[in-house]
Amino acid sequence: MEQSSSGRLKKMGFEPKATKTLDSETPEEKEVEAREISDVSEEISETAKLRLARTPTQVEIDFPNGMECPSCKENLGLGAIICMACEINVQTGKKLKSKVKKGRNAYAAPKDSTNDLPDDIDCGGIGRGRYWLYLFLANLVFYGIVIALALVTEGQINNALLSGLYIVYLGALIYTIIKRLRNLGSSAWLFLLSFVPLINIWLGYRLSCCPAGYADHRQLDSTGKKIVFFVFILPILLAFCGGIAAAVLTAK
């Protein structure tokens, strides 16, 4: 009869050990085995990470802790090439061009609408309301004086006096336009466009209708749209209808 494998092992001088089952393992042995399996899995995951890692660049090799700003000597951190403190690109050595308008917060969150903003918020100059008021007062004073002088002198107004009054009136208008342009965020030199035919209509639209800071946000609010309709569109429609009516009546 053929001997079993255990019998042959005994003849060769080996004493086979009984295999342990899961039920025969003590809690300590189970804990040790679980730790060994965990360590092996961690080693495998770290190895996989190293295999998937990209090849480091020459800059990362030369500066393992990040580059240093040549101007302020501040550490930029790994992979960074722009110093946020002095705004210098360390690769090109050039300073970034950043422009922030005076009186404005560069870090403020943008607003979706300008309807809730007053005309003079952080922009300087004068808003739409005061612009219309100053124009009304300037015309009222100038034409009031001219009419009063005409009544007193019976139409014989001195030309030098009239020229002087007109220069003062023109200066007041230019001052008002410049203050309004600053409120819009535009260049004060745009007041010269008020002397250019047709283009002065575009300038009048900007001065009369646009809200504060319009040169930056380019958003016309509801108040500006109403002004556009009543000051520009409605007069044109009325003039067009009046012309048609006059032509019909003349034809009859």
What would the two tokens of residue 131 be?
Answer: 């612009």
What is the Cα–Cα distance from 18 to 30, expressed in whole angstroms?
A: 18
- At residue 163, the pLDDT reads 92
- At residue 116, the pLDDT reads 45
Please tell me whether residue 82 adopts helix, strand or coil conformation: strand
Highest mean predicted confidence (pLDDT) among 38-47, 148-157, 229-238: 229-238
What is the Cα–Cα distance from 32 to 197, expressed in whole angstroms?
A: 94
What is the Cα–Cα distance from 121 to 119, expressed in whole angstroms?
A: 6
pLDDT band at 56 (very low <50, low <70, confident <90, very high): low
Please tell me whether residue 127 adopts helix, strand or coil conformation: coil
- At residue 119, the pLDDT reads 44
Tokens 């429609």 belong to residue: 237
> What ranges do the domains of the chain cover?
61-95, 128-239
Question: Exposure pattern of 1-26 as b/e (b: 16+ CB <10 Å)?
Answer: eeeeeeeeeeeeeeeeeeeeeeeeee
Residue whose C-alpha is closest to residue 202's, from 171, 175, 181: 181
Single-letter residue type at 163: S
pTM of the entire predicted model: 0.51
Highest mean predicted confidence (pLDDT) among 68-77, 94-103, 117-126: 68-77
Contact 93, 170 (CB under 8 A): no
What is the Cα–Cα distance from 66 to 63, expressed in whole angstroms?
A: 5
State yes or no: pLDDT of 1 exceeds 80.
no
pLDDT band at 251 (very low <50, low <70, confident <90, very high): confident
Contact 104, 97 (CB under 8 A): no
Across the range 2-29, mean pLDDT stands at: 55
State yes or no: pLDDT of 157 exceeds 70.
yes
How distant is the alpha carbon of residue 105 from its chain centre?
11
Across the range 111-125, mean pLDDT stands at: 54
Across the range 100-125, mean pLDDT stands at: 54
Residue whose C-alpha is closest to residue 208's, from 229, 186, 224: 224
pLDDT by residue (tens digit) across 160-211? Answer: 999 999 999 999 999 999 999 999 999 999 999 999 999 999 999 999 999 9
Contact 184, 206 (CB under 8 A): yes
Lowest-confidence pick of 115-129, 146-160, 232-246: 115-129
